[in-house]
Structure 1
Amino acid sequence: MALEIERRFLVRGELWRPHAVGENLIRQGYLASGRDDLTLRVRLARPPEGPMAAFLTLKLPAAGGGLMGPEHGEPIPAAGQALTRQEYEYPIPADDAEALLERCDHRLGKIRFGLDLPGGDWVLDVFEGANAPLVVAEVELERADQPVAVPPWCALEITGRRELSNAALAHRPLAMWPEADRQALLVQAHGGPD
Protein backbone atom coordinates (compact mmCIF):
# COMPACT_ATOMS: atom_id res chain seq x y z
CA MET A 1 0.00 0.00 0.00
CA ALA A 2 1.32 3.47 -0.92
CA LEU A 3 1.03 5.88 2.01
CA GLU A 4 1.24 9.65 1.99
CA ILE A 5 2.30 10.99 5.39
CA GLU A 6 2.45 14.77 5.45
CA ARG A 7 2.25 17.95 7.46
CA ARG A 8 1.17 21.29 5.97
CA PHE A 9 1.81 24.92 6.96
CA LEU A 10 0.67 28.40 5.94
CA VAL A 11 3.72 30.41 4.91
CA ARG A 12 4.47 34.00 5.86
CA GLY A 13 6.81 36.27 3.92
CA GLU A 14 9.56 35.47 1.45
CA LEU A 15 12.26 33.95 3.68
CA TRP A 16 11.64 30.56 2.06
CA ARG A 17 13.01 31.73 -1.31
CA PRO A 18 16.72 30.97 -0.59
CA HIS A 19 15.65 27.34 0.00
CA ALA A 20 13.82 26.99 -3.34
CA VAL A 21 15.25 24.46 -5.77
CA GLY A 22 13.38 24.13 -9.04
CA GLU A 23 9.83 24.99 -9.84
CA ASN A 24 6.86 23.61 -11.75
CA LEU A 25 3.74 25.31 -12.97
CA ILE A 26 0.97 22.95 -11.88
CA ARG A 27 -2.57 22.68 -13.16
CA GLN A 28 -4.75 20.11 -11.50
CA GLY A 29 -8.38 19.12 -11.50
CA TYR A 30 -10.60 16.75 -9.60
CA LEU A 31 -12.50 14.06 -11.49
CA ALA A 32 -14.05 12.76 -8.27
CA SER A 33 -14.10 13.72 -4.63
CA GLY A 34 -16.38 12.19 -2.09
CA ARG A 35 -17.61 12.31 1.45
CA ASP A 36 -15.42 9.33 2.28
CA ASP A 37 -12.33 11.46 1.60
CA LEU A 38 -11.66 9.79 -1.72
CA THR A 39 -10.25 12.01 -4.46
CA LEU A 40 -9.27 11.27 -8.04
CA ARG A 41 -7.01 14.00 -9.37
CA VAL A 42 -5.36 14.75 -12.71
CA ARG A 43 -2.23 16.93 -12.68
CA LEU A 44 -0.03 18.58 -15.31
CA ALA A 45 3.34 19.84 -14.13
CA ARG A 46 5.37 22.06 -16.44
CA PRO A 47 8.97 22.93 -15.48
CA PRO A 48 10.58 26.05 -17.00
CA GLU A 49 12.67 23.70 -19.14
CA GLY A 50 12.15 20.06 -19.98
CA PRO A 51 9.14 17.90 -20.71
CA MET A 52 5.74 18.29 -19.13
CA ALA A 53 4.77 15.55 -16.67
CA ALA A 54 1.22 14.32 -16.12
CA PHE A 55 -0.23 12.13 -13.39
CA LEU A 56 -3.48 10.53 -12.31
CA THR A 57 -3.67 10.26 -8.51
CA LEU A 58 -6.12 8.45 -6.26
CA LYS A 59 -6.17 9.37 -2.56
CA LEU A 60 -8.28 7.74 0.11
CA PRO A 61 -8.25 7.21 3.88
CA ALA A 62 -5.49 5.06 5.29
CA ALA A 63 -6.63 1.58 6.26
CA GLY A 64 -7.25 1.29 9.97
CA GLY A 65 -6.95 4.97 10.75
CA GLY A 66 -8.66 6.86 8.02
CA LEU A 67 -8.41 10.52 7.35
CA MET A 68 -8.95 12.39 10.56
CA GLY A 69 -11.65 14.98 10.68
CA PRO A 70 -14.77 16.00 12.57
CA GLU A 71 -17.16 14.34 10.08
CA HIS A 72 -15.73 11.01 11.12
CA GLY A 73 -15.95 11.59 14.85
CA GLU A 74 -12.17 11.81 15.04
CA PRO A 75 -10.08 14.83 15.96
CA ILE A 76 -8.26 16.90 13.39
CA PRO A 77 -4.53 16.20 13.80
CA ALA A 78 -2.99 18.43 16.43
CA ALA A 79 0.04 20.52 15.56
CA GLY A 80 2.94 18.17 15.12
CA GLN A 81 0.81 15.19 14.04
CA ALA A 82 1.05 14.03 10.44
CA LEU A 83 -1.92 13.19 8.25
CA THR A 84 -1.74 9.73 6.69
CA ARG A 85 -3.62 8.67 3.56
CA GLN A 86 -3.35 6.02 0.89
CA GLU A 87 -2.03 7.53 -2.33
CA TYR A 88 -1.68 5.88 -5.72
CA GLU A 89 -0.09 7.99 -8.45
CA TYR A 90 0.45 6.97 -12.07
CA PRO A 91 2.12 8.83 -14.93
CA ILE A 92 -0.14 9.36 -17.94
CA PRO A 93 0.40 11.01 -21.34
CA ALA A 94 0.19 14.82 -21.20
CA ASP A 95 -2.47 14.85 -23.95
CA ASP A 96 -4.65 12.54 -21.86
CA ALA A 97 -4.19 14.81 -18.84
CA GLU A 98 -5.19 17.86 -20.91
CA ALA A 99 -8.34 16.07 -22.07
CA LEU A 100 -9.20 15.01 -18.52
CA LEU A 101 -8.59 18.52 -17.16
CA GLU A 102 -11.14 19.83 -19.66
CA ARG A 103 -13.71 17.54 -18.05
CA CYS A 104 -12.98 18.74 -14.50
CA ASP A 105 -15.42 21.24 -13.03
CA HIS A 106 -13.05 21.94 -10.13
CA ARG A 107 -9.49 23.03 -10.92
CA LEU A 108 -6.66 25.08 -9.49
CA GLY A 109 -3.27 26.40 -10.48
CA LYS A 110 -0.12 26.91 -8.47
CA ILE A 111 3.62 27.18 -8.76
CA ARG A 112 5.38 24.43 -6.82
CA PHE A 113 8.92 24.87 -5.56
CA GLY A 114 11.10 22.14 -4.14
CA LEU A 115 12.80 23.14 -0.89
CA ASP A 116 16.26 22.14 0.32
CA LEU A 117 15.18 21.59 3.92
CA PRO A 118 16.13 18.55 6.03
CA GLY A 119 13.79 16.11 7.71
CA GLY A 120 11.54 15.06 4.84
CA ASP A 121 10.56 15.92 1.28
CA TRP A 122 9.60 19.62 1.43
CA VAL A 123 7.66 21.52 -1.26
CA LEU A 124 6.04 24.93 -1.29
CA ASP A 125 2.96 25.93 -3.32
CA VAL A 126 2.24 29.51 -4.36
CA PHE A 127 -1.43 29.44 -5.36
CA GLU A 128 -2.70 31.43 -8.32
CA GLY A 129 -6.03 32.82 -9.46
CA ALA A 130 -8.91 32.57 -7.01
CA ASN A 131 -6.65 31.02 -4.34
CA ALA A 132 -4.00 33.78 -4.37
CA PRO A 133 -2.25 34.95 -2.21
CA LEU A 134 -2.21 31.60 -0.38
CA VAL A 135 1.25 30.02 0.12
CA VAL A 136 1.48 26.55 1.68
CA ALA A 137 4.53 24.43 2.58
CA GLU A 138 4.21 20.66 2.86
CA VAL A 139 6.61 18.04 4.12
CA GLU A 140 6.20 14.36 3.25
CA LEU A 141 7.53 12.07 5.94
CA GLU A 142 8.62 8.45 6.17
CA ARG A 143 6.63 7.88 9.36
CA ALA A 144 3.89 9.74 11.20
CA ASP A 145 5.91 10.31 14.37
CA GLN A 146 8.97 11.64 12.54
CA PRO A 147 10.28 14.85 14.13
CA VAL A 148 10.27 17.90 11.88
CA ALA A 149 12.27 21.12 12.23
CA VAL A 150 9.61 23.63 11.20
CA PRO A 151 11.09 26.80 9.65
CA PRO A 152 10.12 30.09 11.35
CA TRP A 153 8.41 31.31 8.17
CA CYS A 154 5.80 28.56 8.56
CA ALA A 155 3.18 30.74 10.24
CA LEU A 156 0.51 28.18 11.14
CA GLU A 157 0.15 24.42 10.89
CA ILE A 158 -2.88 23.48 8.77
CA THR A 159 -2.47 19.70 8.71
CA GLY A 160 -5.94 18.17 8.61
CA ARG A 161 -7.80 21.42 7.90
CA ARG A 162 -10.12 20.11 5.23
CA GLU A 163 -11.11 23.55 3.92
CA LEU A 164 -7.45 24.15 2.99
CA SER A 165 -6.86 20.87 1.17
CA ASN A 166 -6.17 21.22 -2.54
CA ALA A 167 -9.42 19.41 -3.36
CA ALA A 168 -11.41 21.81 -1.15
CA LEU A 169 -9.65 24.86 -2.62
CA ALA A 170 -10.51 23.64 -6.12
CA HIS A 171 -14.19 23.32 -5.12
CA ARG A 172 -14.36 26.45 -2.99
CA PRO A 173 -11.44 28.80 -3.68
CA LEU A 174 -10.29 31.38 -1.17
CA ALA A 175 -11.97 34.13 -3.22
CA MET A 176 -15.37 32.49 -2.53
CA TRP A 177 -14.93 32.41 1.24
CA PRO A 178 -16.92 34.89 3.34
CA GLU A 179 -14.79 38.04 3.62
CA ALA A 180 -14.37 37.74 7.40
CA ASP A 181 -13.10 34.14 7.10
CA ARG A 182 -10.79 35.04 4.23
CA GLN A 183 -9.31 38.01 6.08
CA ALA A 184 -8.86 35.97 9.28
CA LEU A 185 -6.85 33.39 7.35
CA LEU A 186 -4.74 36.05 5.63
CA VAL A 187 -3.99 37.68 8.97
CA GLN A 188 -2.76 34.30 10.26
CA ALA A 189 -0.74 33.65 7.10
CA HIS A 190 0.65 37.09 6.33
CA GLY A 191 0.28 39.13 9.46
CA GLY A 192 -2.39 41.32 7.89
CA PRO A 193 -5.11 41.52 5.23
CA ASP A 194 -4.11 41.43 1.60
Structure 2
Amino acid sequence: MGVEIERKFLVKGDRWRDLAPGELYRQGYIPTVESTVRIRVVNDRGFITIKGMSQGISRAEFEYEIPVSDAAQMLDTLCKAPLIEKYRHKIELNGLIWEVDEFLGENHGLIIAEVELRNADQAIDLPDWIGEDVSHDPRYYNSNLTKHPFTTW
Protein backbone atom coordinates (compact mmCIF):
# COMPACT_ATOMS: atom_id res chain seq x y z
CA MET A 1 0.00 0.00 0.00
CA GLY A 2 1.22 3.50 -0.82
CA VAL A 3 1.12 6.17 1.87
CA GLU A 4 1.15 9.91 1.26
CA ILE A 5 2.69 11.99 4.05
CA GLU A 6 2.39 15.59 3.01
CA ARG A 7 2.53 19.10 4.43
CA LYS A 8 0.89 22.10 2.73
CA PHE A 9 1.83 25.74 3.04
CA LEU A 10 0.66 29.02 1.59
CA VAL A 11 3.30 30.69 -0.58
CA LYS A 12 4.43 34.26 -0.10
CA GLY A 13 6.20 36.48 -2.58
CA ASP A 14 7.62 35.52 -5.97
CA ARG A 15 11.14 34.25 -5.14
CA TRP A 16 10.09 30.69 -6.04
CA ARG A 17 9.06 31.55 -9.63
CA ASP A 18 12.54 31.34 -11.18
CA LEU A 19 13.37 28.01 -9.51
CA ALA A 20 11.40 25.72 -11.86
CA PRO A 21 9.11 25.92 -14.90
CA GLY A 22 5.48 24.96 -14.49
CA GLU A 23 3.40 22.26 -16.14
CA LEU A 24 -0.32 22.67 -16.72
CA TYR A 25 -2.44 20.25 -14.71
CA ARG A 26 -6.15 19.62 -15.26
CA GLN A 27 -7.86 17.43 -12.71
CA GLY A 28 -11.25 16.53 -11.34
CA TYR A 29 -12.83 14.35 -8.71
CA ILE A 30 -15.35 11.55 -9.03
CA PRO A 31 -17.88 11.80 -6.17
CA THR A 32 -17.36 9.20 -3.41
CA VAL A 33 -18.21 8.90 0.27
CA GLU A 34 -15.18 7.54 2.13
CA SER A 35 -12.31 8.08 -0.30
CA THR A 36 -11.10 10.49 -2.97
CA VAL A 37 -10.87 9.46 -6.63
CA ARG A 38 -8.91 11.95 -8.71
CA ILE A 39 -8.52 12.00 -12.49
CA ARG A 40 -5.62 14.07 -13.83
CA VAL A 41 -4.15 15.08 -17.18
CA VAL A 42 -0.59 16.44 -17.25
CA ASN A 43 0.61 17.32 -20.74
CA ASP A 44 -0.08 14.13 -22.74
CA ARG A 45 -0.38 11.71 -19.80
CA GLY A 46 -3.43 10.58 -17.85
CA PHE A 47 -3.61 9.36 -14.23
CA ILE A 48 -6.13 7.96 -11.77
CA THR A 49 -5.44 8.30 -8.05
CA ILE A 50 -7.39 6.81 -5.16
CA LYS A 51 -6.77 8.28 -1.71
CA GLY A 52 -8.06 7.06 1.65
CA MET A 53 -9.19 9.11 4.62
CA SER A 54 -6.59 11.41 6.17
CA GLN A 55 -5.00 10.49 9.47
CA GLY A 56 -3.11 13.63 10.45
CA ILE A 57 -0.90 14.42 7.44
CA SER A 58 -0.89 10.80 6.20
CA ARG A 59 -3.27 8.76 4.07
CA ALA A 60 -3.27 5.72 1.79
CA GLU A 61 -2.62 6.59 -1.85
CA PHE A 62 -2.69 4.55 -5.07
CA GLU A 63 -1.85 6.20 -8.40
CA TYR A 64 -1.80 4.65 -11.86
CA GLU A 65 -1.18 5.94 -15.36
CA ILE A 66 -4.12 5.49 -17.71
CA PRO A 67 -4.61 6.41 -21.38
CA VAL A 68 -4.85 10.19 -21.70
CA SER A 69 -7.97 9.84 -23.86
CA ASP A 70 -9.68 7.89 -21.04
CA ALA A 71 -8.62 10.51 -18.49
CA ALA A 72 -9.93 13.36 -20.67
CA GLN A 73 -13.26 11.58 -21.16
CA MET A 74 -13.56 10.94 -17.39
CA LEU A 75 -12.82 14.62 -16.66
CA ASP A 76 -15.53 15.68 -19.08
CA THR A 77 -18.19 13.13 -18.06
CA LEU A 78 -17.61 11.73 -14.54
CA CYS A 79 -15.99 14.56 -12.57
CA LYS A 80 -17.90 17.29 -10.80
CA ALA A 81 -17.36 20.86 -11.98
CA PRO A 82 -15.44 23.02 -11.55
CA LEU A 83 -12.28 21.18 -12.49
CA ILE A 84 -8.96 22.13 -10.89
CA GLU A 85 -6.58 23.81 -13.31
CA LYS A 86 -3.16 24.87 -12.12
CA TYR A 87 0.46 25.24 -13.01
CA ARG A 88 2.67 22.96 -10.92
CA HIS A 89 6.30 23.93 -10.38
CA LYS A 90 8.53 21.15 -8.96
CA ILE A 91 11.40 22.66 -6.98
CA GLU A 92 14.17 20.51 -5.51
CA LEU A 93 15.67 21.91 -2.30
CA ASN A 94 17.67 20.17 0.44
CA GLY A 95 16.80 16.69 -0.83
CA LEU A 96 13.05 17.36 -0.99
CA ILE A 97 10.72 18.13 -3.89
CA TRP A 98 8.47 21.12 -3.28
CA GLU A 99 5.41 21.20 -5.54
CA VAL A 100 4.19 24.77 -5.89
CA ASP A 101 0.68 24.94 -7.34
CA GLU A 102 -0.47 28.20 -8.90
CA PHE A 103 -4.23 27.83 -9.35
CA LEU A 104 -6.27 29.12 -12.28
CA GLY A 105 -9.97 29.60 -12.96
CA GLU A 106 -12.25 29.66 -9.92
CA ASN A 107 -9.23 29.19 -7.62
CA HIS A 108 -7.18 31.99 -9.20
CA GLY A 109 -4.99 33.82 -6.69
CA LEU A 110 -4.28 30.75 -4.56
CA ILE A 111 -0.69 29.47 -4.46
CA ILE A 112 0.12 26.45 -2.30
CA ALA A 113 3.39 24.57 -1.76
CA GLU A 114 3.27 20.88 -0.85
CA VAL A 115 6.14 18.67 0.25
CA GLU A 116 5.99 14.90 0.68
CA LEU A 117 7.86 13.47 3.65
CA ARG A 118 9.26 10.07 4.61
CA ASN A 119 7.56 10.23 8.03
CA ALA A 120 5.15 12.58 9.79
CA ASP A 121 7.81 13.86 12.22
CA GLN A 122 10.45 14.63 9.59
CA ALA A 123 12.17 17.96 10.21
CA ILE A 124 12.36 20.26 7.19
CA ASP A 125 14.07 23.55 6.44
CA LEU A 126 11.44 25.96 5.15
CA PRO A 127 12.43 28.18 2.22
CA ASP A 128 11.88 31.92 2.78
CA TRP A 129 8.94 31.90 0.37
CA ILE A 130 6.93 29.50 2.55
CA GLY A 131 4.11 31.04 4.57
CA GLU A 132 1.41 29.65 6.84
CA ASP A 133 1.15 25.88 7.37
CA VAL A 134 -2.32 24.81 6.15
CA SER A 135 -1.77 21.04 6.31
CA HIS A 136 -4.71 20.52 8.66
CA ASP A 137 -7.10 22.98 6.98
CA PRO A 138 -9.46 21.00 4.70
CA ARG A 139 -10.36 24.14 2.70
CA TYR A 140 -7.00 23.76 0.92
CA TYR A 141 -7.52 20.14 -0.20
CA ASN A 142 -7.82 20.12 -3.98
CA SER A 143 -10.93 17.95 -3.70
CA ASN A 144 -12.57 20.64 -1.53
CA LEU A 145 -11.49 23.46 -3.85
CA THR A 146 -13.84 21.98 -6.45
CA LYS A 147 -16.75 22.28 -3.99
CA HIS A 148 -15.77 25.63 -2.45
CA PRO A 149 -13.44 27.49 -4.84
CA PHE A 150 -10.97 29.98 -3.41
CA THR A 151 -12.60 32.94 -5.18
CA THR A 152 -15.81 32.35 -3.18
CA TRP A 153 -14.20 32.59 0.28
TM-score normalised over the length of structure 2:
0.93
Contact 1:57 1:87 in 2 (8 A): yes
Task: Name the SS for the 1:142 alignment partner.
Answer: coil
- Find the structure with the greater CA-based Rg: 1
Provide the rounded CA distance (Å) in 2 between the counterparts of 1:120 and 1:32.
32
Give the % identical residues. 38
CA gap 1:152/1:130 in 2 versus in 1, 3 angstroms: same
Task: Name the SS for the 2:146 alignment partner.
Answer: helix
Cα offset, 1:172, TM superposition: 1.1
Which residue number corresponds to residue 9 of structure 1? Answer: 9
Listed one character per residue, the Cα deviations across residues 90-135 of structure 1 (whole Å, up to 9, x for unaligned) are 0000000010001212311000011021242211100001101100
Which residue number corresponds to residue 55 of structure 2? Answer: 67
Which residue number corresponds to residue 96 of structure 1? Answer: 70
Aligned-residue CA RMSD in angstroms? 1.3
Provide the rounded CA distance (Å) in 1 between the counterparts of 2:47 and 2:136.
24
Provide the rounded CA distance (Å) in 1 between the counterparts of 2:32 and 2:86.
20
Give the number of equivalent residue pairs.
151
Structure 2: gaps of 5 or more residues = none
Structure 1: gaps of 5 or more residues = 47-51, 69-82, 178-194
- Equivalent of residue 58 in structure 1, options 50, 69, 72: 50
Contact 1:45 1:53 in 2 (8 A): yes
Higher share in strand: 2
Contact 2:98 2:114 in 1 (8 A): yes
Deviation >3 Å, runs of 4+: none
Provide the rounded CA distance (Å) in 1 between the counterparts of 2:144 and 2:32.
9
2:150 pairs with 1:174: yes
Task: Name the SS for the 2:93 alignment partner.
Answer: coil
